[in-house]
Amino acid sequence: MSQYKKFQVTALAQGAYTVQGFNQDGDKVNVLQTFETTQNALALFQGHAAESNFVQILNGFAMGPGGTLSPNAGMYSVTGDFASWGITFEASYSLGYGITVQAYVPYWSVSLNNVNWVYQNTPATFADANIEQNLFSAFATDAQNLFDLNIGSWKQRGFGDLAVLCSWQLDFPQYRGVLKNVHPHIYFGLSLPTGAKENINNICPVSLGCDGALAVPFGAGLNLNLWKILELGANAQFWYQAGTTQLGRIETYPTQTSLQKSESRKNWHSSRTMIHG
């Protein structure tokens, strides 16, 4: 923003429509396969087998609870299309002497679409395609009824965290052979947790801010203009996020996978500082 503008309102739009994940080997994968290539649906119902129609159907393939299920029983490969777009609104007011007060608030639209669960057992398991569909329907229904977990598509819209910053920046012209201008800048502020938190009842949930945590952004930098044609600069940006207690899903059995956690529990998230150069 030009330092000669007293008051200014701007908007910045951004979007992401081909989101991909990276697994632990650094390979590109579908965003729902970032942590595992397959999800263990059977492990979700550990301790709830008697209540689950999904487990009863699987046991039917093994000729009863005492039978032997195949190693891939209850294993699904999951894919989906993750997309988001947002508009950030900014209002800034110049106090003079290079000091500016700015306020930012984003509006986000985030969605997970075309979620597809593909059963990983051998095709011979299902004598009829309806059996596979019935198995998945039982899985989706049991996950919703027993654990309040939606394993399908979802969409979330709303405003994110409100950030208020104060910055200082000025030009200091230099009348030298090489150095023509020095431009230091510094800022600090506060990010308020006004955005929606993660909806832990959806698979692969996201928050529209710092998930209920207070944050403090701050940073500084220096730009040098040489010969009026070359600009050199360096800056450091910091983001301190305070600790907070958040509701999240946890594994109740070691075989449960990232999208299939059965129990909700409050957890303490420690404070952290992120650095960008």
Output the pLDDT for position 64. 46
Q: What is the pTM of this model?
A: 0.81
Output the pLDDT for position 101. 97
Which strand (E) or helix (H) includes residue 41?
helix 41-44
Could you give the CA distance from residue 75 to residue 140 in angstroms, rounded to a whole number? 14
Q: How far is CA 37 from CA 83, 120, 271, 276, in A?
A: 20, 11, 31, 31
Output the pLDDT for position 82. 93
Single-letter residue type at 52? S
Single-letter residue type at 99? I
Tens digits of pLDDT across the chain (277 residues): 444 568 999 999 999 888 888 998 899 999 999 999 999 888 888 888 888 888 888 777 655 445 455 667 788 999 999 999 999 999 999 999 999 999 999 999 999 999 999 888 655 555 455 667 888 899 999 999 999 999 999 999 999 999 999 999 999 999 888 999 999 999 999 999 999 999 999 999 999 999 889 999 999 999 999 998 899 999 999 999 988 877 888 888 888 888 988 877 777 666 777 676 5
Output the pLDDT for position 86. 96
Output the pLDDT for position 69. 59
Output the pLDDT for position 80. 95
DSSP-based three-state secondary structure for 189: strand
- In the chain the first and final C-alpha atoms are separated, in Å, by 21
Cβ-in-10-Å burial (0-12, 13-18, 19+) of 259 comes to: buried
Output the pLDDT for position 1. 43
Output the pLDDT for position 268. 67
**Residue 85: closest CA among 154, 15, 20:** 15
Output the pLDDT for position 218. 96
